[in-house]
Structure 1
């Protein structure tokens, strides 16, 4: 594996001779297609220009793939894939036997197309390559359907169908070849074998030439889960791009997540020098989760292995990304920022020790992780809860959701079945509020409870649509941007860390314990000391009234809890502090490894 990477500025023509030949062949073949279809070119020595062009493109495509396979010999991430490309081109060439029947050639082409897909698979984060490959497959299928019709059903010369077959195969070869060229021009493989960017950046920062894209440190903010995690680190990415122009900052995720991130930045910040990259979603994930649910995050990470390998650090809000440890170079630094500040056991999981650097909300988590040995001094910073940065700009303005003056209750059950109140008493809670003449209800469960919130899932709640004092949201943007925690007067929940965001302005809380958990001495239920706890909901109305009346008894506890949980967080400063902490850590890494 290469220890360094290419430096210096890019040349005016950043193409190898093989790439230029393939592009030239593509242009020539395109001209031949037009000429052949217009009837202005005759057959040459028994072979049409389409056949000649196809052979030329095939040979150049094979030469290009072979050249890449040997030139990438030191990069195991892509070397074998380029050899698959060679095999695919060889199969197509071998199938072009004079007088070969379609039932032999077509299966060979199908196998070859599969190998060519495998060739460019590591590069499919570049969505244009994926679209081109599917276009090539469509041209190939069209060509071979025409061949089957001509020879299998009509049994005649039919020159029109012959031209469709020849043109389709040529277009397929052109597109497959162009996909390989674009894969090479993406520089994903160059980035993946460049492991000394941090050291070179530390030496050249602030000097001419330090803007070389293969020298600038590359930081990725990854969003492979649901949208509720985005606000917890996006302000850090924005601050990093604004404050450190010598870094290359990327936002990566699904199309839905990128749309949400772009909208947040557009509405709350304005133009920022960020790169947005859509991850390739494998066919196996897409077919199982057509409703838009997240699906297997490990499969997505594995399919985009080359892309992630090209970064110096990946900032993530979830633990599944630790899988990158197994599939990416050891030089990749994994940085974790929290997407909640609750007390559940998952907040103090042993896997946190596997991250290189942690961004923590407050003293509570830092103290506990140090006690458990899951954090080390110098490898974490406290006082980071970036979601509050952009919310603070709203000046705590309370959204008005109901056309009445009733107090509003937010019911936000957790998604994990073994902990959540929803499977046991959720419907009873909704039925109670349907009858209530005192309170409004916002039912906004954890976004993962009904992931993805399809119309069919909403249909299960149609009986509550007739109640104007009930608002049901199974997973819109407002479930994650604190619209509901700001709008509500009373919190009703179980183990969700939403309560922390609700308590940024102390208000009455009521916790549901239908499982009769012995919680009083359990640190994972510490926040249940911030309001009454119910094991039965036979008289829920009276319990809510009691929570309101007794709020003064809990208000100081809530303030103390919030101080311990988020006390180091300065309003509007988490993004800048987080960016500074990450850059400072990477600077230390560069100095240590330089």
Structure 2
């Protein structure tokens, strides 16, 4: 039995991209879940009933073995005052890394730190959806032994590294379950999902530029239902007290903290997808061809442009109000299908195949 560490990212949007892989791995291996806070665990709590799954909390405590290391001191300061630091978590579980055979990241962390602790450990990236090529190429793949890619579009972002295309673990998880449809709104209208991303460097600006304007528009327009379901990380940056004021409208659902933000719960209800650069747009298009409206950003990347080719891109709010009344065109359907052929490999055993590649390392 191998000893395998799996990162539980604080970004809950990552979890379903490795969730079923963990189920495959725990059949014959010991699995260690690395997490920072209890609230980060989410669906990973499902594994607490398994005797061969161990939960390892990194409390960012000072480690006597590293306390005089300049790198360690820098990371302590960075974590406490700037942002969480995944590599600091690795220092604090070095006793587990020293005995582990494999570590799986969804945060695209290089193997440089872990292999200083254990030079025999294998480093795996479980990709959290089709990642923008401009972002992926900036990541260090040094000492990464395996990248599990959903398809050709992601695989082509990497050079000189072991990439295996496994299809979408998340979509296969969804398609394996029978989904019941509940009534979300009291009146049956066209339903719009507003799914803004948080990362402006990758092209996300729809919330900053038009967020409140969009909520105001739908609160005063009873021709549509609106589901406001942002990327979970965006909730760290928006004024929730302002957003919650829109809960009173019966044609608006405000979801800022539930698992529904990441598990595609709202997908069957959505007629129009409104957003910027979230990879969930690919998943929505895969499950059903529908109208996509994207807000153009001055930071658009080449990959963002490809994503937005699945629908229409608007440059201002006036153009958005015009486009929302137009239906799905044949050209848009063709573009969605053409691009999706390369985004997700046609594979129904994604998690099992990923586990096999990991065990073979």
CA distance in 1, matches of 2:42, 2:261: 16
- Map of 1:308 onto structure 2: 97
1:404 to 187, 191, 209: 187
- Map of 1:566 onto structure 2: 344
How far the C-alpha of 1:567 sits from its partner, in A, is 2.9
- Map of 1:488 onto structure 2: 270
Tell me which of the two structures has the higher relative contact order, counting C-alpha pairs closer than 8 angstroms and 6 or more residues apart.
2
How far the C-alpha of 1:261 sits from its partner, in A, is 1.2
Q: Is the 8 A contact 1:444 1:479 kept in 2?
A: yes
Q: Is the 8 A contact 1:343 1:527 kept in 2?
A: no
How far the C-alpha of 1:299 sits from its partner, in A, is 2.6
C-alpha change, 1:308 and 1:417, in structure 2 (3 Å) is: same
Q: CA RMSD in A?
A: 2.9
- Map of 1:248 onto structure 2: 30
Question: Is 1:239 the counterpart of 2:28 in the alignment?
Answer: no
Aligned to 1:461, what secondary structure does the other structure show?
Answer: helix
How far the C-alpha of 1:231 sits from its partner, in A, is 1.1
- Map of 1:276 onto structure 2: 54
Higher helix share: 1
Residue by residue over 1:88-116, the C-alpha shift from the partner in whole angstroms, topping out at 9 and shown as x without a partner, is: xxxxxxxxxxxxxxxxxxxxxxxxxxxxx
C-alpha change, 1:383 and 1:433, in structure 2 (3 Å) is: same
Pick the structure with greater CA Rg: 1
How far the C-alpha of 1:514 sits from its partner, in A, is 4.8
Aligned to 1:441, what secondary structure does the other structure show?
Answer: strand
CA distance in 2, matches of 1:395, 1:286: 45
Q: Is the 8 A contact 1:305 1:327 kept in 2?
A: no
TM-score (normalised: structure 2): 0.85
- Map of 1:120 onto structure 2: none
Question: Structure 1 stretch 354-363 or stretch 341-350: which is displaced more?
Answer: 341-350
Q: Is the 8 A contact 1:410 1:488 kept in 2?
A: yes
1:424 to 209, 212, 221: 209
How far the C-alpha of 1:272 sits from its partner, in A, is 5.1
How far the C-alpha of 1:461 sits from its partner, in A, is 1.6
Question: Is 1:583 the counterpart of 2:359 in the alignment?
Answer: yes
- 1:205-224 matches, cutoff 5 A: 216-224=1-9
Q: Is the 8 A contact 1:384 1:577 kept in 2?
A: no
- Map of 1:297 onto structure 2: 86
Residue by residue over 1:90-145, the C-alpha shift from the partner in whole angstroms, topping out at 9 and shown as x without a partner, is: xxxxxxxxxxxxxxxxxxxxxxxxxxxxxxxxxxxxxxxxxxxxxxxxxxxxxxxx
- Map of 2:136 onto structure 1: 347
Question: Is 1:444 the counterpart of 2:229 in the alignment?
Answer: yes
CA distance in 1, matches of 2:271, 2:137: 30
CA distance in 2, matches of 1:374, 1:438: 52
- 1:34-433 matches, cutoff 5 A: 216-242=1-27, 245=28, 247-253=29-35, 254-263=37-46, 274-282=52-60, 295-320=84-109, 322=111, 324-325=113-114, 327-352=116-141, 354-369=143-158, 373-375=159-161, 379-395=162-178, 397-418=180-201, 419-420=203-204, 421-433=206-218
Q: Is the 8 A contact 1:513 1:533 kept in 2?
A: yes
Question: Is 1:553 the counterpart of 2:342 in the alignment?
Answer: no
Q: Is the 8 A contact 1:489 1:508 kept in 2?
A: yes
**Unmatched 5+ residue regions in structure 2?**
63-74
Q: Is the 8 A contact 1:227 1:257 kept in 2?
A: yes
Q: Is the 8 A contact 1:301 1:321 kept in 2?
A: no
C-alpha change, 1:344 and 1:364, in structure 2 (3 Å) is: closer
Residue by residue over 1:247-302, the C-alpha shift from the partner in whole angstroms, topping out at 9 and shown as x without a partner, is: 32233324233353123x69xxxx65541313131259999999xx9833333222
C-alpha change, 1:396 and 1:294, in structure 2 (3 Å) is: farther
C-alpha change, 1:310 and 1:396, in structure 2 (3 Å) is: same
Aligned to 2:325, what secondary structure does the other structure show?
Answer: helix
Aligned to 1:319, what secondary structure does the other structure show?
Answer: coil
How far the C-alpha of 1:498 sits from its partner, in A, is 1.3
How far the C-alpha of 1:494 sits from its partner, in A, is 0.7
2:249 to 453, 467, 479: 467
CA distance in 2, matches of 1:227, 1:435: 32
Aligned to 2:200, what secondary structure does the other structure show?
Answer: coil
How far the C-alpha of 1:327 sits from its partner, in A, is 4.3
CA distance in 2, matches of 1:523, 1:289: 30
Aligned to 1:449, what secondary structure does the other structure show?
Answer: helix
C-alpha change, 1:279 and 1:470, in structure 2 (3 Å) is: same
Equivalent residue pairs, number: 344
Aligned to 2:14, what secondary structure does the other structure show?
Answer: helix
Higher strand share: 2
